[in-house]
Amino acid sequence: MKHVFVFDQDKCSACSACMMGCLDQNDTDLAAGDKCFRQTFDNEIPLADGGTYFAYISAACMHCVDAPCIPACPVGCLYKDPETGFTVYDNTNCIGCKSCAMACPFGAPRYRASDGKMVKCDGCNERVKNGLDPACVRACSFGALTCVTEEEYKASGSTKACNALIDQLGLRKK
C-alpha cells in the first residue's frame, strides 16, 4: 500500500518532537557530526505591512512521486519501494559522489563523513511495512505531521501531501 506524508503547517509549532523521534529511531550520531534526517524551521518572515509571519515547518525527504535523486545516482543506490512508494536506498555501492544531494531540491540526502556514504530519510520504510507509523509522525502530538495511505489521502481532500511539493513549487526541470 502506497503511503503519503502529509504536513499541515497550521498545526505545527516547530517543537521538534519529530526530530527527537527521528534521532531515536535512527541512532543518529550527533557527536560524530551526523545530522537528523528531519529538520524543523522556526522562521520569521517580515511582511510588507511591517508585521511578521511566523513560519513553523517540519521537513525531511518529501518522497517525491518522481524523485530526481533516483536517476541522479550513478551506481543505482536509490529506488522506490514498490510497496510503500517511499524513496529508499541501499548504500552498499555508494561512492560518496553526492550527485543525489545535488539533484534534490530539498537537500534531503546527506553525505555521512564517518563512512563516506550517503544516507537519507527512508520514511521509516520497515516500520510502515510492519504497520507502524514513521518515527517522526509517531512523535507529533499536534497532528501536523501524518502519514496515510494513498487511498486515505485522496478521500481526505487534503492538498498537503509532501510528495507533491516538488510539483507545487514548480521545481521540476522540464
Partner 1 sequence: MTELEKKIKAKIPGEDTGIEVKHSLCAICSPGIHCGVDCYVKDGKIIRVEGTMEHPYNHGHLCTKGSSLRNYVYREDRIKTPLKRGGERGEGKFEPISWDEAYQIIAENLNKVKEAYSANSVAFFSGYCKWYRPIFHRFAHVFGSVNFGTDDSTCSASMVIGYKVTSGAVGATDLIHANTFLGWNFDGYYSNHLNVAGVQKLKERGGKVIIIDIRDTPASKNLADIFLKIRPGTDGALALGMAKLIIDNGWADMDYVEKYTFGFDKYKELVDQYPLDKVCEITGLDGGKILEATKLFATNGPACINFSASALVHHINGFNTHRATVCLSALTGNFDRAGGNVPGVMTYLHKPAGFVTREHEFRSNRYPGGAKRIGAERFPLWDAQFDEFQSMDLLRQVETADPYPIKAIFGLGMNAKMFPQTNQLLKAMKNNLDFFVNTDLFMTMTCKYADIVLPACTSVERGELKAYQGGYLTFTQPVITPLYESKSDTDILCELARVMDLDDDLLKAGYEACMDWIIDGCGLTVADLKKSDLPVKVPIAQWPPRPGKCLEDGFKTPSGKFEFYSNAIAAIDPKYGLDPLPSYRDPLEDQNDPETKAAYPFYLCTGARLPHAIHSRTHETPWLRSLRPDPTIEVYTTDAERLGLQNGEPVELYSPYGKIRMKVKVTARSQPGVLMTLHGYTEANVNELIGRNHLDPYSGYPGFKGMRCNIRKVQEA
Tell me the three cell numbers of residue 137: 509522525
Q: Is 12 in the site for partner 1 (CB under 8 A)?
A: yes
142 binds partner 1 (CB under 8 A): yes
Listed ranges 5-13, 60-68, 77-85, 161-169: which one lies at the site for partner 1 (CB under 8 A): 5-13
N residues, the chain: 174
Instruction: Report, in Å, the least distance between residue 46 CB and partner 1.
Output: 7
The Cβ of residue 122 has, within 10 Å, a number of other Cβ atoms equal to 21
Q: Determine, following the binding rule CB under 8 A, whether residue 48 of this chain makes contact with partner 1.
A: no
- Residue 30 binding partner 1, by CB under 8 A: yes
- Hey, is 155 helix, strand or coil? helix
Question: According to the binding rule CB under 8 A, does residue 134 interact with partner 1?
Answer: no
Contact between 145 and partner 1 per CB under 8 A: no
Check: CB of residue 122 under 8 Å from CB of residue 79. Answer: no
Under DSSP, the state recorded for 106 is: T
Q: What are the two backbone dihedrals, phi and then psi, of residue 133, each rounded to the nearest 5 degrees?
A: -75, 155
Stretch that binds partner 1, among 67-75, 79-87, 107-115, 139-147 (CB under 8 A): 139-147
AA identity, residue 73? C
